[in-house]
Structure 1
Amino acid sequence: MESAVFNLIEDLDQSTTNWKIKARVTRMWTSVSSENGSVKGYNVILLDDDNNHVHAFAYPNIWNGFKTPVIEGGVYVFDQFSVKDVVGNLKPVQADIRIRFSQYTTVTAVEDDGMIPAYKFEFLDLGDLFTEANKYQPQQQPEFAIDVIGVIEDFEPLTKLDTKFGMRDIVKFRICDSSNQHKVSVWRDLVVLANNIYTKELQSPVIAIITSTKVTTFMNTVQIGTLPSSKLYLNLDDESVTDMRMRLKEEGYLSKREKYLKAAKSEFVQTFMERMTLKDLNEKLTYDDLKKRIYTTFSVVKVDEDVAWFRIMVFAEDDTFSCNVMLMDRAARRIVGTSAIKAYNDFEKV
């Protein structure tokens, strides 16, 4: 049985290097020197069929020595490697160990039988980010990086920002759900990808998954930043995105544009659809009223015989007042469903 051949990620420890796992590479990135930009190492996240994942690392000479090229999304058998305690902050996955590939490690590509999921995320709800970020002092780093999911709003295309490290490319947007919204700044190599994949053709609302983010607070608001280990997925074909869409629908989420249109429609109804009597129209009409859409109801008592093709003058009355009312042809068509001249002719036949 395959379960007897391969070890599970949850069983790995430092007792031996004689480990053999079958896993999918769900994410990849390089560690780069901040001094000269040289590659310091290669990183992968490995996920097994028991839905456990772990961070693995290889120095450049080890990575380049693999006979089988390793690509993101591929399934491989990794044999002979060491296991180390995970150290440092902003760890990409919540595991206590990390794999270290060595010169004895072999990598073999195997058929993808669909038993290993394509992705695994460890989301923190957007509503919990502020509390999480406030756990740490300004100079402290969280133990783990955070995966987030939400709707993209206010996307700002690639621009340059003057930072203490010099001019750097940046893409900014907000990530939202029905109750929360936070600012996101995308940095480094992820900038170009974000700028290219966010298009108007994407299904709306555009749901983003951002892995391995650094969350801080500034002026009492949450700031989400990306790291070298961060990945950005838009409208990913994943159960988490499907669940998010259902949640948004159930909670009545509206995009920024939809909220604007709803507010405008509400204001239009409240401000422009006001009923007035003929007496009010005659005696109380103000300049502000001219900006509104006003309606009234009345009975037509008489039609002026001096009619033009584009208008009709009627003598109207309601319970409060009697007066002349001019119906332009367009108004006549809208109100009585016919032209002014036809309305006049029909009235004469009565």
Structure 2
Amino acid sequence: MPLLSLALLNQHNDDSAVRVRLLRLWRTMRPDGITIQQFHMMFVDNQVTEIEGLIDTDEIPLFDPFLLNEGRIYRFTNFHVRPYEDDHRVSPATLRICFHQETVVEELPNGQDIPAYNFRFLDAADLPNAVHNHAYMSDIIEVLVLADPEEALFEDIALLRRKSVLLKGQFL
């Protein structure tokens, strides 16, 4: 089965194969705080296209998500591609990879052609619009800029002026 770029995935690619790096793996819990509800994943391919992945409640017994390691490269085949329009996504992608009982996961040797991270920077002027986008979550990094470096040596920290830079991305 030939490999497909994440950028070319659509809802009709249920029998495709992709080669991706797992950037992040996290779980959501049921309200009881004990039972795992879902495993979520963030992937990137060699074209720096990212997509989220999901192992849903019914599929958790079929996979051992703890055998998946962040930073490693995998080949996935026989997965579903589904719309992802939920609020609070960590990727702008509107599709996601969903594992099911016939999904095959194969760990591959580490390759330098797939980045170990993915960042999307936004200008500080665009911050107000990004804050009101509830579908796509953002990380904010504060950058401190001295108002007057000479005065700052002798005055309170209030003389520091903040300039926010919005950083959207995944770290390894």
Q: Tell me: higher relative CO, structure 1 or 2? Use CA pairs within 8 A at least 6 residues apart.
A: 2
Instruction: Compute the displacement of 1:95 (Å).
Output: 0.8
After the TM superposition, which residues 101-112 of structure 1 pair with which residues of structure 2 at under 5 Å, given as runs? 101-112=99-110
1:119: Cα distance to partner? 0.7
Per-residue deviation, 1:17: 1.3
CA contact (8 A) 1:66 1:106 kept: no
Task: Give 1:58's match in structure 2, choosing from 38, 55, 59.
Answer: 55
Tell me how far 1:147 sits from its aligned partner: 3.6
Kept in 2, the 8 Å contact 1:124–1:146? The answer is no
Deviation of the 1:89 alpha carbon: 1.3
Question: 2: distance between equivalents of 1:36 and 1:30?
Answer: 14
CA displacement, residues 294-332 of structure 1 (integer Å, 9 cap, x when unaligned): xxxxxxxxxxxxxxxxxxxxxxxxxxxxxxxxxxxxxxx
Distance in 2 (alpha carbons) for counterparts of 1:31 and 1:264 = 45
Instruction: For residue 117 of structure 1, report the CA deviation from its aligned partner.
Output: 0.3
TM-score (ref. length: structure 2): 0.77
**Structure 1: any 5+ residue segments left out of the alignment?**
151-174, 179-253, 268-350
Contact kept in structure 1, 2:130 and 2:138, CA below 8 Å: no
Of 128, 145, 157, 2:137 maps to 145
For normalisation by structure 1, the TM-score amounts to: 0.40
The equivalences for 1:297-316 within 5 A come to none
What is the aligned counterpart of 1:46 among 33, 43, 48?
Answer: 43
Residue 5 of structure 2 aligns with which residue? 8
- 1:266, CA displacement in angstroms? 6.9
| Structure having the higher Rg | 1
Deviates more, 1:119-128 or 1:105-114: 119-128
Deviation at 1:264, TM superposition (A): 5.9
- Offset, 1:57: 0.2
Secondary structure, aligned partner of 1:113: coil
The within-5 A match list for 1:138-217 is: 142-148=134-140, 150=141, 175-178=142-145
Pair 1:36-2:28 in alignment: no
After superposition, the Cα gap between the structure-2 partners of 1:59 and 1:131, relative to the gap in structure 1 and judged at 3 Å, is: closer
CA RMSD of aligned residues (A): 2.6
What is the letter of the counterpart of residue 24 of structure 2? R
Identity %, equivalent residues: 23
SS at match of 1:263: helix
Deviation at 1:143, TM superposition (A): 2.1
- SS of aligned partner of 1:122: strand
Name the SS for the 1:176 alignment partner: strand
Deviation at 1:121, TM superposition (A): 1.9
State the alpha-carbon separation in 2 of the partners of residues 124 and 130 from structure 1.
11
Structure with the larger helix share: 1
Please say which of residues 124-133 and 68-77 is displaced more in the overlay.
124-133
> What residue in structure 2 maps to residue 95 of structure 1?
93
Amino acid at match of 1:176: V
The code of the aligned residue for 2:40 comes to N
Q: Which of structure 1's runs of 4+ aligned residues deviate more than 4 A? A: 264-267
What amino acid is the match of 1:102? H
1:30-49 residue CA offsets vs partner (Å, 9 max, x unmatched): 1122x211211000011110
Q: Deviation digits for residues 189-243 of structure 1, max 9, x if unmatched?
A: xxxxxxxxxxxxxxxxxxxxxxxxxxxxxxxxxxxxxxxxxxxxxxxxxxxxxxx
Structure 2 contact 74–106 (Cα < 8 Å) conserved: yes
**Is the contact made by 1:83 and 1:97 (CA closer than 8 Å) also made in structure 2?**
yes
Unaligned ranges ≥5, structure 2: 156-172
Q: Which residue of 2 aligns with 1:25?
A: 22
| Distance in 2 separating the partners of 1:128 and 1:90 | 18
Q: Which residue number corresponds to residue 126 of structure 2?
A: 128
